[in-house]
Amino acid sequence: MLPIGGHKGYGIALAVDILAGVLSGGAVATEVQSLFKQKERPQQASHFFMVIDPAQTIGTEAFLDRIEALCLIMKETEPIDADMPVLIPGEIEARKAEENLRLGIPMDEEFYESLQSLARGEAPDSVAKI
């Protein structure tokens, strides 16, 4: 695993490894096997999930206000490349979901017909392609 962001990136990567690997008893650092190159033995990747209820810390409304302020700061940051604005995680997906609700989900005719056949309980010719 190569850290990004210099010493701070290293610290975050190490913290994630401690939470996801050490605390779970799973593999850490170089012990994690390749997902693709080591098919004969398990990857031994572990996961860590944490839930924080803002209502128990600063309160839901204050949390939402602070998140909105943080997003505004990020969006107002001058991008390195003027043609690539600063994005908030999930922003592209939210735009795409909005577009799909407005225009429908794009798919080719053959795939659409296969779905229609399946919905009718028929086995379409192109099931193997799905």
In what helix (H) or strand (E) does residue 130 lie, and over which residues does it extend?
Answer: none
Residue 129 lies in a domain: no
pLDDT at 2: 54
pLDDT at 130: 46
User: Which structural domain range is residue 34 located in?
Assistant: 1-50
Exposure letters 32-42 (e unless 16+ CB within 10 A, then b): bbeeeeeeeee
Instruction: Point out the residues of the chain with pLDDT beneath 50.
Output: 1, 129-130
Residue 118 lies in a domain: yes
Spatial separation of the C-alpha atoms in residues 52 and 119, rounded to whole Å? 41
pLDDT at 124: 61
- Count of domains in the chain? 3
pLDDT at 69: 98
